[in-house]
């Protein structure tokens, strides 16, 4: 099966691209992209300096730090010695891929380390923390009685007393002990982090979210055998605007309602002979492709509705209502056979009820409320947050402000929608 791919303006990028070129096994450039998420860690040296100066280490609060250790404060000019710290990290980690953006260091550990690591998410954090602790100890002549343990605690939090590092040294993906289920690290980035890292560009946010979700699907076996084509088509149509379907639906229904999008999806599927209407009863000729059409419609509905109100809070209602209407009209399964609708309803309950304002941007794919949908929900939530103009309690500019800086150090993630398509076209990272 071959597809044509279009950008966010409906302009053709590539045509006649084989569907299987989106498979990680055959696309080394896609593997290179996801490796960036695994091997990148970052540290704010200014925050580290202040933390050590005030003894604020080992805290577990999401906002602030409730743990202050008196009598062990360290006053050292860490920011002032940034260049020497970078030089030592390059030596200890055997990497020249360290970028300083103001006081923020973005560090990529070598891919060789990732390949030999049993747990390739935890390894970069732990290895970098050891290298950084040693670097600081050498520069400021610290020994075991002078606060080396405080530096380690500032970087890793209460680990290993805790189940996972929770200090100042951060990574894109959560370590396995912090996620909701086996092999969910690729799904652990929050929506706000993805939105900020993609520069608040709708199609780039959707493509980045789908890249991570598809990587998780490969790791956990969601996309094996029977379901492989389902996810490949979902990635292509909803994630990358295959055959310009999402763009055309938005353009056609931009002044309409949710039902207009549903009706347009059904008409388009009938025209393309994906489904057939026989005396009011719809029959699918290709169920995975019908799911891809429905998923594109779900994204189009999100773009139209959230774009119109410049807010993300209604995204769960949009997704659940769209799928409900689609099932009522056709009698066919909605997106992901009902999982997208069910997860959206649960998300609504949590964000509007017991969480009381958690907001769309704080969810991640492996969160207990939305993890039931695998691939088809989070990209739409990312699109919704791209349109939000500050109506949420938690917005990317506050929860993920460092991601904007980190984005500067990772050009391979810029224009990721087009880059993924270029990689399928055989142009690498063009």
Of 92, 222, 259, 355, catalytic: 355
Q: What is the DSSP letter of 352?
A: I
Q: Give dist(CA 380, CA 191) in Å, integer.
A: 10
Measuring CA to CA, which residue among 386, 247, 237, 261 is closest to residue 322? 261
Cα(325)–Cα(353) distance, integer angstroms: 24
Distance CA 63, CA 164 (A): 17
Q: Identify each DSSP E strand in 202-280 by its residue range.
A: 275-278
For residue 86, what are the contacts with CB-CB under 8 A and spacing of at least 6? Answer: 98, 100, 105
- Active site (annotated) includes residue 355: yes
Q: What's the helix, strand, coil split of the chain in %, to 5?
A: 55, 10, 35
Question: Residues 10, 247: contact at Cβ < 8 Å?
Answer: yes
SS3 282: strand
Q: Would you tell me how many other CB atoms lie within 10 Å of the CB of residue 266?
A: 22
Structure tokens at 112: 């060789």
DSSP 332: S
Q: How many alpha carbons fall within 13 Å on the CB side of residue 19? A: 17
Catalytic residue list: 355
């Amino acid at each position: 099966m071959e597809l044509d791919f279009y950008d966010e303006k409906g302009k053709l990028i590539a045509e006649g691209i084989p569907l299987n070129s989106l498979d990680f096994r055959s696309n080394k450039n896609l593997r290179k992209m996801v490796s960036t998420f695994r091997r990148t860690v970052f540290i704010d040296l200014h925050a580290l300096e202040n933390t050590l100066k005030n003894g604020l280490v080992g805290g577990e609060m999401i906002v602030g730090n409730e743990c202050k250790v008196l009598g062990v404060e360290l006053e050292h000019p860490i920011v002032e010695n940034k260049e020497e710290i970078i030089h030592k990290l390059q030596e200890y980690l055997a990497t020249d891929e360290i970028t300083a953006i103001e006081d923020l260091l973005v560090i990529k550990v070598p891919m060789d380390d990732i390949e030999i690591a049993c747990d390739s998410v935890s390894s970069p954090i732990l290895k970098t923390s050891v290298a950084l602790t040693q670097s600081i100890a050498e520069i400021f002549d610290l020994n075991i009685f002078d606060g080396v343990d405080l530096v380690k605690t500032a970087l890793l939090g209460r680990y290993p007393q805790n189940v996972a590092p929770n200090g100042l040294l951060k990574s894109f993906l959560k370590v396995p002990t912090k996620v909701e289920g086996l092999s969910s690290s690729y799904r652990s980035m929050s929506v706000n982090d993805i939105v900020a890292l993609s520069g608040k560009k709708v199609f780039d946010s959707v493509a980045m979210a789908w890249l991570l979700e598809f990587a998780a699907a490969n790791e956990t076996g969601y996309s094996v055998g029977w379901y492989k084509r389902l996810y490949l088509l979902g990635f292509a149509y909803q994630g990358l605007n295959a055959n310009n379907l999402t763009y055309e639906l938005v353009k056609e229904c931009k002044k309409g309602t949710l039902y207009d999008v549903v009706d347009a999806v059904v008409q388009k599927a009938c025209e393309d002979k994906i489904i057939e209407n026989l005396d009011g009863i719809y029959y699918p000729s290709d169920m995975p492709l019908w799911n891809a059409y429905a998923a594109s419609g779900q994204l189009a509905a999100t773009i139209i509705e959230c774009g119109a109100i410049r807010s993300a809070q209604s995204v769960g209602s949009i997704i659940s209502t769209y799928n409900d209407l689609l099932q009522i009209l056709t009698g066919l399964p909605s997106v992901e056979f009902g999982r997208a609708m069910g997860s959206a309803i649960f998300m609504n309950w949590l964000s509007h009820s017991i969480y009381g304002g958690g907001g769309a941007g704080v969810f991640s794919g492996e969160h207990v409320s939305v993890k039931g949908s695998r691939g088809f929900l989070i990209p739409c939530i990312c699109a919704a947050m791209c349109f939000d103009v500050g109506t949420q309690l938690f917005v990317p500019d506050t929860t993920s402000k460092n991601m904007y800086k980190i984005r500067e150090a990772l050009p391979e993630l810029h224009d990721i929608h087009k880059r993924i398509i270029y990689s399928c076209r055989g142009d690498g990272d063009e």
